[in-house]
Structure 1
Amino acid sequence: MKLLQVRKGQFVYYNNELHKVYSVKPLAKKSVLMFRVKDMEQVASRADEVSLYKPKHMDSFMFFGERYTLREDVPAEEGGYILIAKPDPDYMDHYSLNEFEKIESVEGKNVITTRQNTVKSREFFVMVPGEEQGSNDIAYFDKGKVSAEQQQHDAQLADDLRDRSSIRPSIGDVYLNLDNTGTAMVVAIMGEEVTLGTGDKLTFHDLHKADNWSYLYNVADGDFR
């Protein structure tokens, strides 16, 4: 792709795997910042190293270790996830292209997400857990290049990510919020309570057991961008 074609939120393939662009830095040598959808690993690349993909009905992929299939013909359910592929927010709502959001409630065919966005049914795909029969696997651009070792790693990815989440938190730990795919860093620890950069305060136990916070990395490891 050319740099002018790259936009925040786009799904792209990089190194044969599905990624999502979260920022574009035109003046940087590696100007496209993205995360790998299957495990949220962050990476930077040049625009000419990625290729665009537009998600469709019945596409299947891994999102943070779990397999989902995109459906436009099933009703949304409270507690499930949606992918906002055709964003058209009202002035009070705040979301953009290809955002993953968790459903707080359903109003007719529309949903209200945990970020208090009202999303119309024509804007999103329902993320149905599992790989539906007849679905199109888009996790890799060329599945023929995926080794048996990589397939085995993918099969146990959810368990590996849960193991990473069980690490005792420390200053500089960055966590992913699965409700809105935002990230937050541990900025303070007092006794058994941690404070995140978002202002959230949780005990060690609550942070590890929460279904909407998952450990990514520590900034001291050199992975922070």
Structure 2
Amino acid sequence: MKLYQVRKGQFVFYKNELHKVYSVKPMFRQSVHLYRLKDMEQILTRAADIELYRPKHNDTFIFYGQRYTIDQYKKPEPGDYILITKPAPDLFDHYSLNEIEKVEEVHENSVTTTKDNGVKHHEYVMLVPGKSEASQEIAYYDKELVPEEQRLKDESISYLAEKDVTLQPYVGDIYLDKRNNTKAMVVAVTESEVTFGHGIHVHIAELLDEESFELIYRYSTD
């Protein structure tokens, strides 16, 4: 489905791979800014060059070197990831279409994420690690065009560490958390997540979203 009105957060196919729209700037010729979901590589393009995809139950895709499958029926537990497909944030919440967040607490009518967002149960679907036999591949528009060696590499965190060595966060780095208008220091880093001093936990991939975070100090051991 070709797009005539591009929205932030939409899943789209570009050059056979799944991307997400993170910014639209109509004044520019290449007005659509994308992230490639498998590794968060940034792309500038036009609406005419992308094709809309609406994620659904049992779809499977790669998010920053790890594969997940959408499950609209499974109930989350703390530590699980969710995909927000029907965002209706309250006044003090900050999330939008197709954001991926980690669950910190589960309540009767909602979950609280590690970004301090309260997301109601009808607003999201679960992201279950791995894939099932019945799942539908959406990491690629046509997976037959992608060599098996490349498909295996795309699901490798170690490959990303080598590829994005200059972008890897370190304990001591300071970022501007634009949503909370707060300067925060990185106090812990795991394979895929960062913990800030003001208590927020985010996926490493989110640090590349220029509308949410800005690196203002790089800690160096040199």
Paired residue type of 2:185: K
Check conservation: 1:21, 1:32, Cα contact below 8 A: yes
Determine the C-alpha separation between the residues in 2 that align with 1:210 and 1:15: 26
Determine the C-alpha separation between the residues in 2 that align with 1:208 and 1:78: 17
Cα shift at 1:164: 5.2
> Structure 2 regions of 5+ residues with no counterpart?
178-182, 195-202, 209-222
Check conservation: 2:71, 2:127, Cα contact below 8 A: yes
Provide TM-score, normalisation by structure 1. 0.77
Cα shift at 1:174: 4.5
Determine the C-alpha separation between the residues in 2 that align with 1:194 and 1:27: 33
Question: Residues 209 and 48 from structure 1, CA distance in 2 versus in 1: closer, same or farther, beyond 3 angstroms?
Answer: closer
**What does residue 222 of structure 1 align with?**
none
Check conservation: 2:161, 2:168, Cα contact below 8 A: no
RMSD of aligned Cα (Å)? 2.5
* Aligned partner of 1:211 among 167, 188, 193: 193
Aligned residue pairs total 193
Question: Residues 77 and 162 from structure 1, CA distance in 2 versus in 1: closer, same or farther, beyond 3 angstroms?
Answer: farther
**What does residue 19 of structure 2 align with?**
19
Question: Residues 94 and 62 from structure 1, CA distance in 2 versus in 1: closer, same or farther, beyond 3 angstroms?
Answer: same
Cα shift at 1:81: 0.7
Check conservation: 1:78, 1:104, Cα contact below 8 A: yes
Deviations 1:82-140 (A, max 9, x none): 00011122223221111111111000252111121111111101111111231111101
Matches within 5 A, 1:69-108: 69-108=69-108
Cα shift at 1:163: 4.2
Give me the identity figure in percent: 44
Question: Is structure 2 residue 129 aligned with structure 1 residue 120?
Answer: no
> Structure 1 regions of 5+ residues with no counterpart?
168-172, 177-185, 187-191, 218-225
Check conservation: 1:76, 1:109, Cα contact below 8 A: no
